[in-house]
Amino acid sequence: MSSRSWLAAFAAAATLCLSANAQIEDSGLQMVDPWGMGFLEAGEPALPASMWRASSTETLLPMMRAVRTQGLTPGERTLMRRMALSPATAPQGDQSPALLAERARILFELGEARPAANLMARLEISPPGLDSDEIATDLNLALGNEAMACAENTSALREGAYWAKLRAVCAALRDNTAGAELAIEMASSQGVNDSWLTSAVFAASGDLPNPPRAKYDSGIALAISSKAGLAPPDTALSPSRPDLAAAMVARPGLPAATRAEAAAIAAEAGLIDVAAWHQVLDTLFENPEFEPRSKVEIAIATARNVAMPNDGRADAIADALLDAAINPARFAAVSAVLAPELASLSLTNETAKHALLFARASIAANDFEGMTLWTLVPSLDEASQTDAFDFAYIHALGVLSGSGDAAQIGETLVAEATRKDDRQAAARLFALWTMTGITPPPAARALMTSDSEAPGKAIKPGAVLAILANAEAGAAGEAILASVALIDGDPSKRDVADLALVGRALNVIGAQDAASALALEATGYWNAAK
């Protein structure tokens, strides 16, 4: 074959249709300002479109590059999602393209795959250290948008290791075995050698008797592993890419056990709802040969065992909840997925030992009826070692989520706070009420005055006041960036006065739900469940 014929064959094998960028241009979408694109779900509140107008781009850029995107509490995640997903007027200044790149990066690191892919494909410049075209393509592969990912991106004009691998994978995805082999040869000639990918591509064509184990650490690996039907790896899934975990949940062709493992990661990151996790778990339990492995799976299996006594079922659920009390995000996710099993339990002298844990889990799952049930322990005939303050405190926690009469609950908590530690805990909780705009009753305000704990880990007063000033100036995005920096993954370690000002700022920008979530997290309720 002549070199010209060989190149023509390669082009025919490797090229599909149009690139994602070309599709955008051809449809006229290049005229849409990427800043004005919103990605919030229906009914989800957005920040004001003017959220960047009152900020300096020179100030915003280092803040956006420094902000945490991993290890977020549910409250922090609410803020970051809303900031990154809300449509807005573009910031004015020379740094606007760089800021848009940071917006796309934040979406990517939050695991918001679809909006991240959309924005990455429209950037003028890539975020530092990243290739926006590669990320957009790889995310589309993970999401199952193979036609878009494999469009003109498979052209020989695309240089680099990723694109060489992509040409082989895209040919395999189209069942073009000859094209895949040719693309692998071309990649090798360019010094791109990936033995696993080569094996996976050949496995997809059915020409490999001993296929490798699957990999799920990228979109390209997920796509070819799924196409080839590769057996899952022996090691646990990495939690570092929750976006890929969420994509795996949406692939019914993957093994149910793998999807269940992925669902736990994605749920903790807030990328799938509890119903999706339940659906995957139900698929697992439909298999009569299924053996539960995780604490959650064991808890569900035990709770569904009609022969198991009430206390045994309660012990299994408690074990799973305690195992999840590592951070507020995991505790909230596990509490929500186990809510049906928890609701199936009865309050007895045997299950009462877990009452405080179950009450806190009920709050995390927004099940206030269940919360109330588990605070009835003192009414049991043979209840032992009950502490009225602990159960009054549970009701006061519920107030932060909108449950109960704040005045009445506050008076009760004050009355039961007879020990110094209890009075200090109550005083902090009442202070956190103010973070959400809830006014403590007179006795509670007096307790706050007399028994407030020493300041926690505080920052410079001016920095906290600046957050409020940002909010009042209409700089909602800057207020969120500064708030997340202050909270630093654990609001329970922050001074309540600082948190109260943060809460005031969040209420000004319309993020009351996030303020309430952060206030609850600031009680350390999830950690106290241990």
Give me the pLDDT at residue 154, please.
65
**Phi, psi (degrees; rounded to nearest 5) at 457:** -75, 100
Angle, CA of 341, 329 and 520, to the nearest 5° = 95
Average pLDDT over the chain, rounded to whole? 90
Closest CA to 179 of 144, 213, 154, 209: 154
pTM: 0.90
Report the C-alpha gap between 257 and 388 in whole angstroms. 43
11 Cβ contact partners less than 8 Å away, ≥ 6 residues apart: 155, 156
Distance of CA 226 to the CA centre of its chain: 24
For residue 384, count other CB atoms closer than 10 A to its CB: 9
Closest CA to 81 of 468, 500, 511: 511
Q: What is the mean pLDDT of each run of 10 residues along the chain (530 residues)?
A: 34 34 35 88 93 94 96 97 97 93 98 97 96 96 95 74 95 95 93 94 88 97 97 94 97 95 97 95 91 95 93 97 96 97 93 95 96 89 74 96 94 96 95 95 96 73 94 97 95 92 96 96 84
- Residue closest to 202 by CA, chosen among 175, 222, 223, 220: 175
Instruction: List the structure tokens of 12.
Output: 């025919």
Give the dihedral of Cα atoms 6, 8, 13, 14; nearest 10 deg: 100
User: Contact 362/371 with Cβ under 8 angstroms?
Assistant: yes
DSSP-H helix ranges across 229-273: 242-249, 256-268
Q: Which pair of structure tokens corresponds to residue 253? A: 């062709």
Centroid of chain to Cα 526: 17
Is the separation of the CB atoms in 105 and 129 below 8 Å?
no
Distances (CA, A) of 424 to 126, 420, 421, 453: 50, 6, 5, 6
Token pair 């600031």 in the structure block, residue: 522
Give CA–CA dist 432/231, Å, rounded: 49
pLDDT for 409 equals: 97
Handedness of CA 27, 28, 34, 35 (dihedral sign): negative
Q: How many residues does the chain have?
A: 530
Contact call for residues 136 and 20 (beta carbons, < 8 A): yes
CA distance 103 to 120: 9
C-alpha 36 chain-centroid distance: 24
> For the chain, how long is the longest CA-to-CA vector?
93
Which residues on neighbouring strands pair with residue 457, listed in sequence order?
Answer: 494
**What residues contact 240, with CB distance under 8 A and at least 6 apart?**
none
Give the pLDDT confidence score for residue 11 in this predicted structure.
37
